[in-house]
A and B are shown apart, each in its own frame.
Chain A
Amino acid sequence: MWRGLWTLAAQAARGPRRLCTRRSSGAAAPGSGATIFALSSGQGRCGIAVIRTSGPSSGHALRILTAARDLPPARHASLRLLSDPRSGEPLDRALVLWFPGPRSFTGEDCVEFHVHGGPAVVSGVLQALGSVPGLRPAEAGEFTRRAFANGKLNLTEVEGLADLIHAETEAQRRQALRQLDGELGHLCRGWAETLTKALAHVEAYIDFGEDDNLEEGVLEQGGSTWWGRKTPISPQRLPSLSLFACLLSPTADIEVRALEVALGAHLRDARRGQRLRSGAHVVVTGPPNAGKSSLVNLLSRKPVSIVSPEPGTTRDVLETPVDLAGFPVLLSDTAGLREGVGPVEQEGVRRARERLEQADLILAMLDASDLASPSSCNFLATVVASVGAQSPSDSSQRLLLVLNKSDLLSPEGPGPRPDLPPHLLLSCLTGEGLDGLLEALRKELAAVCGDPSTGSPLLTRARHQHHLQGCLDALSHYKPSKDLALAAEALRVARGHLTRLTGGGGTEEILDIIFRDFCVGK
Chain B
Amino acid sequence: MFYLRGCGRWVAASFTKQQFPLVRLSSDSAAPRTPHFDVIVIGGGHAGTEAATAAARCGSRTLLLTHRVDTIGQMSCNPSFGGIGKGHLMREVDALDGLCSRICDQSGVHYKVLNRRKGPAVWGLRAQIDRKLYKQNMQKEILNTPLLTVQEGAVEDLILTEPEPEHTGKCRVSGVVLVDGSTVYAESVILTTGTFLRGMIVIGLEMHPAGRLGDQPSIGLAQTLEKLGFVVGRLKTGTPPRIAKDSINFSILNKQTPDNPSVPFSFTNETVWIKPEDQLPCYLTYTNPRVDEIVLNNLHLNSHVKETTRGPRYCPSIESKVLRFPNRLHQVWLEPEGMDSDLIYPQGLSMTLPTELQEKMITCIRGLEKAKVIQPGYGVQYDYLDPRQITPSLETHLVQRLFFAGQINGTTGYEEAAAQGVIAGINASLRVSRKPPFVVSRTEGYIGVLIDDLTTLGTSEPYRMFTSRVEFRLSLRPDNADIRLTLRGYKDAGCVSQQRYERACWMKSSLEEGISVLKSIEFSSSKWKNLIPEVSISTSRSLPVRALDVLKYEEVDMDSLAKAVPEPLKKYTKCRELAERLKIEATYESVLFHQLQEIKGVQQDEALQLPKDIDYLTIRDVSLSHEVREKLHFSRPQTIGAASRIPGVTPAAIINLLRFVKTTQQRQAAMNESPKTDQCLRNADRLQERQFLLSPATLPRRTSLTDTFLTLKPTLSPGRASLKASWCISTDFTSVVTLTGAKVTTIPGLRTPVSTRPTGTVPIPKNIYSILNTYEGR
Binding site for B on A (CB under 8 A): 5-6, 9-11, 13, 30-34, 139-141, 145, 148-149, 155-156, 158-166, 169, 203, 205-213, 215-217, 230-232, 234-235, 237-238, 241-242, 245, 388, 391-394, 398-401, 421-424, 439-440, 443-444, 447, 482-486, 488-489, 507, 510-511, 514-515, 519-522
Partner pick for A210 among B78, B114, B594, B704, CB 8 A cutoff = B114
Show 27 residue pairs from A and B whose CB-CB distance is below 8 angstroms, ordered by the A residue: A9-B593, A9-B594, A11-B543, A33-B597, A141-B651, A155-B659, A160-B704, A163-B704, A165-B652, A166-B652, A210-B84, A212-B314, A213-B333, A238-B254, A238-B284, A388-B747, A391-B703, A392-B745, A393-B704, A421-B747, A483-B118, A483-B587, A488-B473, A489-B474, A507-B468, A519-B321, A522-B78
With contact pairs A398-B748, A422-B750 given, residues A155 and B663 touching in the complex (Cβ less than 8 Å)? yes
- In the assembly, what is the distance between CA of A520 and CA of B464, in Å? 13
- In the assembly, what is the distance between CA of A375 and CA of B241, in Å? 67
Number of residues on chain B facing chain A (CB within 8 A): 91
Judge whether B20 is part of the interface by a CB distance below 8 angstroms: no
* 17 other A-B residue contacts (CB within 8 Å) besides A162-B656, A393-B704: A5-B590, A31-B604, A155-B659, A156-B705, A165-B655, A208-B84, A232-B331, A237-B284, A398-B747, A424-B750, A483-B120, A485-B473, A488-B473, A507-B469, A514-B468, A515-B313, A521-B316
Q: List, in ascending order, chain B residues with CB within 8 A of A212's CB.
A: 83, 314
A290 to nearest B CB, angstroms?
19
Judge whether B574 is part of the interface by a CB distance below 8 angstroms: no
Most A CB within 10 A of own CB, among B86, B588, B589, B748: B748
Q: Are B321 and A510 in contact (CB-based, < 8 A)?
A: no
Judge whether B554 is part of the interface by a CB distance below 8 angstroms: yes
With contact pairs A207-B84, A392-B745 given, residues A213 and B623 touching in the complex (Cβ less than 8 Å)? no
Q: List, in ascending order, chain B residues with CB within 8 A of A169's CB.
A: 650-652
Q: List, in ascending order, chain B residues with CB within 8 A of A485's CB.
A: 118-122, 467, 473-474
Q: List, in ascending order, chain B residues with CB within 8 A of A230's CB.
A: 329
Which chain B residue has the least Cβ–Cβ distance from A507? B469
Q: List, in ascending order, chain A residues with CB within 8 A of B254's CB.
A: 234-235, 238
Partner pick for A211 among B124, B313, B590, B707, CB 8 A cutoff = B124
Q: List, in ascending order, chain B residues with CB within 8 A of A245's CB.
A: 117
Q: Are A31 and B85 in contact (CB-based, < 8 A)?
A: no
- In the assembly, what is the distance between CA of A271 and CA of B256, in Å? 58
Which chain B residue has the least Cβ–Cβ distance from A486? B119
Q: List, in ascending order, chain B residues with CB within 8 A of A155's CB.
A: 659, 662-663, 666, 700
A522 to nearest B CB, angstroms?
5
In residues 587-629 of chain B, which contact A (Cβ within 8 Å)? 587-591, 593-594, 597-598, 600-601, 603-604, 623
Judge whether B348 is part of the interface by a CB distance below 8 angstroms: yes
Judge whether B3 is part of the interface by a CB distance below 8 angstroms: no
In residues 643-693 of chain B, which contact A (Cβ within 8 Å)? 650-653, 655-656, 658-659, 662-663, 666
Q: Are B84 and A213 in contact (CB-based, < 8 A)?
A: no
Judge whether B282 is part of the interface by a CB distance below 8 angstroms: yes
- In the assembly, what is the distance between CA of A391 and CA of B746, in Å? 8
9 closest A-B pairs by CB: A483-B119, A485-B119, A484-B118, A9-B590, A166-B652, A485-B121, A391-B723, A160-B704, A203-B468
B367 to nearest A CB, angstroms?
13
Which chain B residue has the least Cβ–Cβ distance from A238? B256
Q: Are B601 and A521 in contact (CB-based, < 8 A)?
A: no
Interface digits, B313-346 against A, CB 8 Å rule (1 contact, 0 not)? 1111000010011001111010000000000000
Q: Are B325 and A400 in contact (CB-based, < 8 A)?
A: no
A262 to nearest B CB, angstroms?
25
Q: Are A207 and B467 in contact (CB-based, < 8 A)?
A: yes
- In the assembly, what is the distance between CA of A156 and CA of B701, in Å? 10
Partner pick for A484 among B119, B745, B746, B752, CB 8 A cutoff = B119
Q: Are A521 and B315 in contact (CB-based, < 8 A)?
A: yes
Q: List, in ascending order, chain B residues with CB within 8 A of A238's CB.
A: 254, 256, 284
Q: List, in ascending order, chain B residues with CB within 8 A of A235's CB.
A: 254, 256, 284, 331
Q: Are B256 and A33 in contact (CB-based, < 8 A)?
A: no
Binding site for A on B (CB under 8 A): 78, 83-86, 112, 114-122, 124, 126, 254, 256, 282, 284, 286, 312-316, 321, 324-325, 328-331, 333, 347-348, 350, 466-469, 473-474, 543, 549, 552, 554, 587-591, 593-594, 597-598, 600-601, 603-604, 623, 650-653, 655-656, 658-659, 662-663, 666, 700-701, 703-707, 722-724, 745-750, 752, 775
- In the assembly, what is the distance between CA of A171 and CA of B330, in Å? 51
Q: List, in ascending order, chain A residues with CB within 8 A of B328's CB.
A: 215-217, 519
Q: Are A440 and B652 in contact (CB-based, < 8 A)?
A: no
Most A CB within 10 A of own CB, among B468, B473, B706: B468
Contacts between chains A and B (CB distance < 8 A), count: 245
Most B CB within 10 A of own CB, among A215, A393, A398, A423: A393
Most B CB within 10 A of own CB, among A10, A421, A520: A10
With contact pairs A6-B591, A158-B662, A209-B118 given, residues A393 and B604 touching in the complex (Cβ less than 8 Å)? no
Partner pick for A206 among B84, B588, B662, B666, CB 8 A cutoff = B84
Partner pick for A393 among B331, B474, B554, B707, CB 8 A cutoff = B707
With contact pairs A169-B650, A235-B256 given, residues A162 and B623 touching in the complex (Cβ less than 8 Å)? yes
- In the assembly, what is the distance between CA of A145 and CA of B608, in Å? 13
- In the assembly, what is the distance between CA of A161 and CA of B705, in Å? 10
- In the assembly, what is the distance between CA of A32 and CA of B707, in Å? 33
Q: Are B314 and A521 in contact (CB-based, < 8 A)?
A: yes
Most B CB within 10 A of own CB, among A145, A149, A213, A522: A522
Which chain A residue has the least Cβ–Cβ distance from B666? A155
Q: List, in ascending order, chain B residues with CB within 8 A of A162's CB.
A: 623, 652-653, 655-656, 659, 704
Q: Are A145 and B655 in contact (CB-based, < 8 A)?
A: yes
- In the assembly, what is the distance between CA of A9 and CA of B662, in Å? 37
Partner pick for B752 among A213, A422, A510, CB 8 A cutoff = A422
Q: Are B313 and A34 in contact (CB-based, < 8 A)?
A: no
A214 to nearest B CB, angstroms?
9
Q: Are A391 and B722 in contact (CB-based, < 8 A)?
A: yes
- In the assembly, what is the distance between CA of A10 and CA of B705, in Å? 49
Q: List, in ascending order, chain B residues with CB within 8 A of A158's CB.
A: 659, 662
Which chain B residue has the least Cβ–Cβ distance from A207? B466
Which chain A residue has the least Cβ–Cβ distance from B449? A507
Q: Are A511 and B466 in contact (CB-based, < 8 A)?
A: yes
Q: Are B748 and A444 in contact (CB-based, < 8 A)?
A: yes
Most B CB within 10 A of own CB, among A141, A231, A482, A486: A486
Most B CB within 10 A of own CB, among A9, A206, A212, A443: A206
With contact pairs A9-B594, A158-B659 given, residues A211 and B474 touching in the complex (Cβ less than 8 Å)? no
With contact pairs A160-B704, A486-B591 given, residues A392 and B748 touching in the complex (Cβ less than 8 Å)? yes
Q: Are A241 and B473 in contact (CB-based, < 8 A)?
A: no
Q: List, in ascending order, chain B residues with CB within 8 A of A166's CB.
A: 650-652
Q: Are B600 and A33 in contact (CB-based, < 8 A)?
A: yes
With contact pairs A391-B745, A486-B591, A489-B591 given, residues A232 and B315 touching in the complex (Cβ less than 8 Å)? no
With contact pairs A141-B651, A160-B704, A166-B652 given, residues A392 and B746 touching in the complex (Cβ less than 8 Å)? yes
